[in-house]
Copies of this chain bind each other. A is one copy, B any other.
Amino acid sequence: MASIVSAKLESGYRFVAETTTGHKIEMDAGEKIGGADTAARPSALPFAGLAGCTGIDTLSILKKMKQEYTSFAVDVEGIDQTTEYPKHWTEIKVVFTVEGEVDENKLVKSINLSREKYCGVSAILKGKVKIHYGYILNGESTDLPDSE
Contacts and interface: CB of A to CB of B under 8 A. Distances in A.
Interface of A is mostly: mixed
Nearest to A44: B19
Contact of A47 (B4, B15, B21, B26): B4
B56 A48 contact: no
Contact of A45 (B15, B30, B45, B126): B45
A128 B33 CA distance: 29
A94 to B, nearest CB: 10
A73 B8 contact: yes
A123 B117 CA distance: 24
Given A5-B51, A25-B40, 7 more contacts: A4-B92, A7-B51, A15-B74, A45-B52, A86-B123, A125-B127, A125-B128
